[in-house]
Chains A and B, each alone.
Chain A
């Protein structure tokens, strides 16, 4: 159950980060209140991502690629296309994770549904753009060549899992540039986003049908 909690925390944090970062497509956010206001304009998001996992055992990062879809208020699809295909979809309060097996996508039934409900409550605050009000993290915003938001876990139960999260927003393109999740001195996950599309029509099937 704990591993399920940790996994869903991890996925939802990734999803939440992208969501709260995308308002920069509308107007440059110079404070958290502005980010929250901009968040109300977002109806859908679609983006590609490249994830680079670095850790001591890997001499070069392990690269994964995938797609992210979001539709307000609470539907999303976080899909890894390679090297290991997996999909997390959330639709109308129901969240499921699927993995590839024998050429088919099958539901990952490890763990319990209860864990997902707990995490959904957690993610609700991210989805509404209130990422500086989440008691689990302290958030700071720094202006420079890029806008940088740093999230630091407050609770000790995240020690070893997440040390801090750094979100970089591009001023020029007005889109999320990258997210870096630092787990420890030797391990971090860098996610670079591209082709970010805001408020384009996304079919409901995207959040219901895993294939």
Chain B
């Protein structure tokens, strides 16, 4: 039995690995211009407030309000989760790769939750940190750019017209871990976002924008603080 167990684990591991979708070289553009990668990412420091519906196994589990303060230049993130009644369930931030949890009520107090949440936020709002490995079209003609992450994983950013832009994160062995969809709209690109996570306990988030505003004032405050120092 002891000899079989590692074999079973290896089999499961290999079975969970898949090959990444094939990217074909793009057809030469008629106008001669090289198309840019789709970029649903923040260009400046922003504060976003979303109503978030959480689903597990297809069932709606709850509705919360999520607040995100994100700066793409420094990759600084602050975030909070609260109920409609105003009770703050979770508050955390990441600065220079350092995670700090200020408040975490159960079930948001698990060791992995904070880091996973920060990673999900970065996936949605920040351009991938790695370098572009491939650029082209998927089978069916969807334009895509593929990034290689430092941890060996992959991020595809797709311009799936007319639906909208999508992001897919794959593990290093090619299994799909996250799928983000930005609904195409004339309004803010963050108006309606879906995130589907494939984990041991898979979940989906359906985010509807309540408020979005540039957070320039805090940059000024921080600069003033730096000057004082």
Contact = CB atoms under 8 A, between A and B. Distances in A.
Given A6-B105, A59-B47, A110-B61, A53 B84 contact: no
Contacts of B213: 59
B107 A3 contact: yes
Interface string B75-118: 00011101111111101000000000001011110000000000
A70 interface: no
Given A11-B85, A55-B88, A59-B218, A99 B210 contact: no
Contacts, number: 87
A14 B63 contact: no
B28 interface: no
Interface in A1-18: 1-3, 6-7, 10-11, 14
A57 B78 contact: yes
Contacts of A24: none
B80 A83 contact: no
Given A10-B83, A62-B67, A160-B103, 17 more contacts: A3-B105, A3-B108, A57-B47, A57-B69, A57-B80, A57-B91, A58-B47, A62-B211, A83-B49, A84-B64, A85-B84, A86-B63, A99-B60, A101-B60, A108-B62, A110-B62, A181-B86
11 contacts: A14-B85, A62-B211, A64-B86, A84-B51, A86-B85, A99-B63, A100-B63, A101-B63, A110-B61, A110-B62, A189-B86
